Chain A
Amino acid sequence: MAGNTDKPAGFSARLAAIASWPVAQVFRLLEYPLAVIQRRVGIKRMPWIFLLPNLAFFGIFVVTPLFINFAFSFTGGTELFLGNRVYTGTEQYGFLLECETFGDPITCREDRFWKGLYNTATFIFFQVTFLVLFSLITALILNREIRGRGFFRAVFFFPVLLSPVVVALIWKWVLLRDGLLNAFLVSIGLDKVLFFVSPEWSMFWAVFVSIWAHMGFYTLILLAGLQAIQPDLYEAAEMDGTSKERVFWRITLPLLWPNLLVVVVLALIKGVQIFDEVFVLTGGGPGTATQFIVQYIYNTGFTEQVQNFGLASAASVILGVILFVLTMIQLAATRVRDNG
C-alpha cells in the first residue's frame, strides 16, 4: 500500500521538476545581469529597477500622450505634427466655453460639445442609479443559499467578458425594425416600434444595454463586500428577532457602504467614458440624442474633412479634468473603505 502511494508522489515531483525547469533557466539567465545591476545601484534602489519596465510603458503610452494632448489643445490648423501647428493660446477652450445660455446648447458656439456633455450627464444619472441598484439586488440574491448559485453568478458575469462591440451588435439585431423584439411585438398583435428613431427610446436602450453589459462586474464587487460581513452579526440580529428590513438597513447597508461608494464612483468614471457600445448601437442618433462627449471628441478629431485636433484636444482636456475629479473621489472612497 505504502509502495502504491510513493509512486504517484515521485511522479508528481518529477513532473513538477520538468515543468519548472524552463522557469529555473530563465531565472538563472537573469541572475547575473540583476546581480551586476544590484552591485551598481545598491539594494535600496532595486525596487525601481523592477518597476522600470512598467514605468517606461506607462510613461510612453499614457503620460507622454497626455502632455502632447495638452499641448495640442493650445494649437490650431490641420497639421499633424506639433512643431508645424499654429499656436492659438486658449482660443480652442474659448470656442468650447462660448455660450449665451449654458443651459441651452443651441446658444453655444460648439453646440455639439454641450449636447455631448448634457447627454453624458443624463446617461450617467440613469445608468449609474440603475446599475448600482440592480447590481445590489443581484448581489443580495446571489449571496443567499439558492440552488444553482454558482451557475447564476457565472451567467450574470458573462456579459462582462464580451467585447463592447459584440454587445452592441447583439442588441442592435434585437432592436432593429426587423429584429427579434419587433418580431415578438408583432407576434402578440402589437405594432413595430422604431426604437432608434425616438430620442427617448434610444437613450433608454443605451442605458439598458450598458447596464446589461457591466452589471456583472459591479455585482461581483458587492458580492465580495457582502461575503466579508461577519455572519455573527446576522446571527445576533436573528436571535434578537430583528426584522429583515431592519437587518438590511442597519447591518448590511452600512457595512457594504464602502464597497457601494467604490462601485458608484467606478460606474461614474466608466459612464463618462462611454463610447464604443453606444456608437455601434445608436451611432449617436437620432440627431444628437445619444451623442456623448467622447463621440464628440472622436468626430471632431477624426471624421470631419477638417480634422480639428486642437478643438478635440481641448475637449479631451476638459473631459480629463472631469475624470480627474471623479478619480479623486474614488481614491477618497477607497480610503474610507480601507479605514473601515
Chain B
Amino acid sequence: MINKAKRILVASSLAASLMASTAWAETELRMMWYNDGNEGEVMQTILDRFEAANPDISVVLDVVPYKAIIESLPIQLAGGTGPDLARVTDLGGLNKFYLDLAPYVADKAYWEASFGPFLDWLAPDSDQISGFMTQLTVTGPYVNKTLFEQAEVAMPGEGATWDDWAAAVKIVAEKLDIPIPMAWDRSGHRVAGPAIAMGAKMFDADGKPALVDDGLKEMAQRLYDWHQDGTMSKELWGSVSGSTYLGANEDFANAQVVMYMSGSWQIPQFADKIGDAFDWWAVPAPCGAAACTGMPGGAALVALKDTKHPEEVAKLMDYLAQEDNLAEFYGKTLFIPGHLKLATGGIDFATDDPRAKHALEVFSGAVPTISPVAFDLQGYKNNRILFNALISRLNEAIVGELTLDQAYERMEDDVAKQIAEKERK
C-alpha cells in the first residue's frame, strides 16, 4: 500500500515537473483587443490554429472595452507595461510605441505589397512595418428605406447633396412621426468627411493643420441649423460633453432614425440586430460643393515595442497577415479588407443578407471616391486632436454655450495648444 502511494507520488511529481518545464518553454504573447461584432471569435479561431502549429507560443486574447483602447492603453504604453500586440484605431497617434517588424518578418516585400498605403498611416514619418489593418472603414450614411417607402417619399439618388437628404428625411419623419429625422455619430471623424465634401482643406499650404476654413464652416453651419430646426436631435450630440463618442446605432436599429451617418463597421451589427425587420440601406456619401466623400479609417493590429519577444510577435503577425487567414477574417467579420489584393480581388463575405451585401458593395465602392484630403487627414498622426476639437466645440455652439464664431476660435486654439504640448521638448 505504502509502495503504491510512493509510486503515485513519484509519478505525480514527474508529471508536474514535466508540465512545469513545458510551461517555462512556452512564450506567452498578450494581444489587447476590442470588439465591434464577432471579430474576437473569428480571431480566436485563427489564433487556435496558430498555437496548434506553434506549440511553443501561446497567445492570450485580452478583450477589453473600446474605451480602454483609447484611454488606458496609451498610459500602459507610456509606462512600459503594455501588451505585445494591440488592436488600435489611433493609428498614427500611438506610432512611437510601435515595434518595427521589418527586421523580423519573413517576407518584407509581401507586407509592403499587401498593406502599402496603410503602413504609412501607422508610420507617417518612417518606413517601418508595424502591423496590418484588421478592417478598413469608410464613413457614410444608412437610411431606413422602409420608412421612405411607407412615407411615399423618393430617396435622393446618386449625386444627391447633404441638403437634398436633410430635406427628404425631414419629410419622411414628419409624415410618419419618427422622432429623429437624421442622426450622426458624435465624432469629429464623422464630421470631417462631409466637411471635406464642402471644401474643407484641413491643412494649409505648408502641410500644417488648419482646421477652420470656409469648407468646414459650411458644414458646421448646416449641422448647427439642423440641430436648431429639429432635423437632428440635440439628444445625441447635446446630451454629453467634450469629445465623448456617442452612436445612434441603437436608435437606428429601433427605427427611431430615418438617416444615420456612421460607417461600414456597423454592417455586421445591423445584419445581426435588424436583420430583415426593415430595409436598412447604405447610400453613397452625399455631396458637397467640393466632393462626395466620406472618411477612410479603420483599426489595425499592431506590434508593440514593450514586447520581450519580437521574433515570436513577428511570427504571429506573419501568420495572421497571410492572405488566406485575412480572407477568412474579413469574410466572417464582414469587414472591408485592408489588404490590397483581397480588396481588389473581392472577398467571399459570409452573409446571405441582401442588405448587408449591398452595404458592403456601397462602402467598398466608395473607397476610390474618397478625397485625397480625407486620406491625408486620416494619415495625419495628430488627427484626433483635430477631431476632438471639432466635435467638442461645435457641440458647445449647438447647445448655445458658444456662438459658432467663438466655437471656431476655440477649435483653432485647442488644436494649437495640444500640438504645442505634444511637441514640447
Contacts and interface: CB of A to CB of B under 8 A. Distances in A.
A106 B406 contact: yes
Nearest to B74: A307
B424 A106 contact: no
A297 to B, nearest CB: 12
B421 A79 contact: no
Nearest to A91: B424
Interface in A279-319: 282-291, 295, 299, 302-308, 310-311
B339 interface: no
B264 interface: no
A111 interface: yes
A285 B240 contact: yes
A266 B379 CA distance: 50
B242 A77 contact: no
Contact of A308 (B179, B396, B402, B418): B418
B238 A197 contact: yes
Interface stretch (B213-221, B288-296, B381-389): B381-389
B79 interface: yes
Interface residues of B, number: 38
A299 B389 CA distance: 13
A116 to B, nearest CB: 10
B410 A305 contact: no
A80 B399 contact: no
Contact of B242 (A79, A111, A284): A284
A291 B385 CA distance: 20
Given A286-B399, A304-B418, A291 B234 contact: no
Contact of B238 (A112, A177, A286, A306): A286
A30 B424 CA distance: 54
Contacts of B325: none
A77 B71 contact: no
A33 B400 CA distance: 68
A196 interface: yes
B315 to A, nearest CB: 30
A291 B418 contact: no
B395 interface: yes
A225 interface: no
B54 interface: no
Contact of A80 (B79, B395, B419): B79
Contact of B421 (A76, A177, A289, A291): A76
27 contacts: A77-B424, A78-B421, A79-B78, A81-B78, A196-B239, A197-B238, A282-B239, A282-B240, A284-B241, A284-B242, A285-B244, A285-B395, A286-B241, A287-B241, A287-B400, A288-B241, A288-B401, A299-B243, A304-B384, A304-B385, A304-B388, A305-B388, A306-B418, A306-B419, A306-B421, A308-B418, A311-B421
Interface of B: 70-71, 74-75, 78-79, 90, 93, 179, 233-235, 238-244, 382, 384-385, 388, 395-396, 398-402, 406, 410, 418-419, 421-422, 424-425
What are the nearest 5 A-B pairs in CB distance?
Answer: A283-B240, A284-B241, A80-B78, A305-B384, A287-B399
